[in-house]
Amino acid sequence: MPYSSPLLEIPRAVAAPEGHPEAGVPWHWGDPFAEQRTAARGVVVIDRSHREILAVTGEERLSWLHLVISQHVTELAENTGTEALILDSQGHVDTHFVLAHTGETVYLDSDPGPVATSALPKGGKQTLREYFEAMKFWSKVEIRDATEELAVLSVLGPETDSVLGVELGTEPYSVTALPEGGFARRMPWPTRAGADLAVPRAQLTQWWQRLTDAGARPAGSWTFDALRVESRHPRLGVDTDERTIPHEVGWIGSAAHVAKGCYRGQETVSKVHNVGRPPRYLALLHLDGSPEITPETGDPVKLGERVVGRIGTVAQHHELGPIALALVKRSVPGGAELLAGDEDRVVQATVDPDSVPGEHAAPGREAAQRLRG
């Protein structure tokens, strides 16, 4: 059965529309723009308990992971974390996840659902655990699905530390074990101040109550997505396609190591890094909010009559208005005036100059004002 968070039973929780990528957790709590403003100025808590979590244990957990993922983790210290990818042999992104190393266990949390993988025939899908099990061979590691053990809550905003009740390290991805089980991990996105909490799933409602009692405002996935789009952090399968390489979406360094060998797709990562010219980049688009329509994920982006990209996440932002992430060709300049959408949902769009690699122009808000002015 599709997942449904117990927090959806709390008054004022509004579920996401059917088919939405964040189905199963609250979409908002009655006022999504106020929720976003609080995330920017105070602190909010967001239910992300639909994320899936794997636990990797065993004496060879780091050396084995080092061989099968894109990140350098042989010396990943206790109580630290990072991000990582699974790539195919051509360097295209199959999977993205976030790690936390604590209690002699590496936890990996990812978006829900099976993922496409080049390990199967074209179009085939498998879970991340199934992929890892196929790659384990004789390594001294154990892999278990910890989704029924732990649930993720994200706390965002400059007042994050004041509501956590635990002392969290200041470095990105630093991890602190929670006394009741689980862990808290400092996150550098989608806001500059925030943390993911992996709490015992049986205590999800109690943790939600504890955080809201401490001053965190309930917020939904709408807020998380709007802030994620603003910060240009992609979601796998929404802002990426089957041709996406890490360089195009900002995953070099944060999730893919350019100097580490011995992982599938590394040759492409190194080659494109040395050349410095990925074919596309992840652009922030400011959409014309005059018509009461917005493009949808997968819709084309056109410069004149020429298709130059595809739409990813579309969001309504409390300050920027309608915005979207789009994978566009490298030749598309900052400030370019585009058409985004298909059929009866085509709107004008402008590329935020700050999202263009190597370009420095007027701030994004000025681009939005030009579009709407």
DSSP letters along 223-235, please? HHHHHHHHTT---
Q: Which stretches within 83-124 are classed as H helix? A: none
Residue 352 half-sphere exposure toward CB, CA atoms < 13 A: 24
Residues 11 and 156 in one domain: yes
Give dist(CA 245, CA 260) in Å, integer.
16
- Residue 368's pLDDT band (boundaries 50, 70, 90)? very low
pLDDT, tens digit, for every residue of 155-183?
A: 999 999 999 988 899 999 999 999 999 99
Which DSSP category does 135 fall into? H
Asked if 131 contacts 65 with a C-beta cutoff of 8 angstroms, the reply is no
- 202 part of a folded domain: yes
Residue 286: both structure tokens together: 């400011």
Let me know the angle formed at the C-alpha of 236 by 235 and 237, rounded to the nearest 5 degrees. Answer: 115
Q: Is residue 267 part of a domain?
A: no
pLDDT score, position 15: 96
DSSP state at residue 246 = G
Nearest CA to 71 out of 274, 266, 239, 228 is that of 266
| 89-104 as b/e: b if 16+ CB within 10 A | eebbbbbbbbbbbbbe
Distance separating alpha carbons of residues 351 and 364, to the nearest angstrom:
9
Residues 155 and 37 in one domain: yes
Considering only 22-36, 107-121, 240-254, which range has the smallest mean pLDDT?
107-121
Lowest mean pLDDT among 74-88, 134-148, 243-257, 354-368: 354-368
Q: Do 90 and 216 fall into the same domain?
A: no
Instruction: Please tell me the least confidently modeled range out of 34-38, 56-60, 120-124, 250-254.
Output: 120-124
Say what the pLDDT of residue 273 is.
86
Residue 369 lies in a domain: no
Claim to verify: residue 26 and residue 68 sit in the same structural domain: no
CATH number of the domain enclosing 78: 3.30.70.1400
User: Is 45 within the bounds of a domain?
Assistant: yes
Contact 23, 14 (CB under 8 A): no
The domain in which residue 78 lies consists of 53-145
Mean predicted lDDT score pLDDT of the chain: 91
CATH at 32? 3.30.1360.120
pLDDT at 290: 86
How confident is the model over 73-81, as a mean pLDDT? 96
Task: Note the pLDDT of residue 18.
Answer: 85
| Between residues 119 and 188, the one the model is more confident about | 188
Number of structural domains in the chain? 3
Mean pLDDT of 120-140: 79
Last residue of a domain, one of 145, 177, 210: 145
CATH number at residue 289: 2.40.30.110
Angstrom CA distances, 336 to 332, 339, 349, stand at 7, 10, 8
Handedness of CA 342, 345, 348, 351 (dihedral sign): negative
At 315-337, the pLDDT tens digits run 999 999 999 999 999 999 988 88
Q: What are phi and psi of 327, to 5 degrees?
A: -85, 115
Residues 63, 32 share a domain:
no
Please give the structure tokens belonging to residue 360: 């420095």
- Per the domain annotation, does 333 fall within a domain? yes
CA distance 362 to 354: 7
Same structural domain for residues 293 and 336? yes
What was the pLDDT predicted at 123?
54
Residue 43 placed within a domain: yes
> Is 244 contained in some domain?
no
- 140 and 158, same domain (yes or no): no
Within a domain: 258 = no
Whether 372 and 358 have beta carbons less than 8 Å apart is answered as no
Quick one: 168 and 42 in the same domain? yes
For residues 38 and 156, membership in a common domain is answered with yes
H-helix segments, the chain? 32-41, 61-68, 128-136, 160-164, 204-213, 221-230, 266-275, 364-372
> In this model, does residue 220 exceed pLDDT 50?
yes
CB 336 within 8 A of CB 352: no
Least confident residue range of 72-76, 319-323, 358-362: 358-362
Residues 32 and 164 in one domain: yes
What is the rounded distance in angstroms from the CA atom of residue 213 to the CA atom of residue 103? 29
- Give the count of alpha carbons within 13 A of 314, CB side only: 21
* pLDDT for position 372: 43
Is 80 exceeded by the pLDDT of residue 362?
no
Lowest mean pLDDT among 110-114, 150-154, 216-220, 294-298: 110-114
Question: Which of 55, 65, 54 shows the shortest CA–CA distance to 139?
Answer: 65
pLDDT value of position 227: 98
Tell whether 77 and 195 lie within a shared domain: no
Same domain, 20 and 152: yes
Distance CA 277, CA 214 (A): 47
Chain position carrying tokens 């655990």: 129
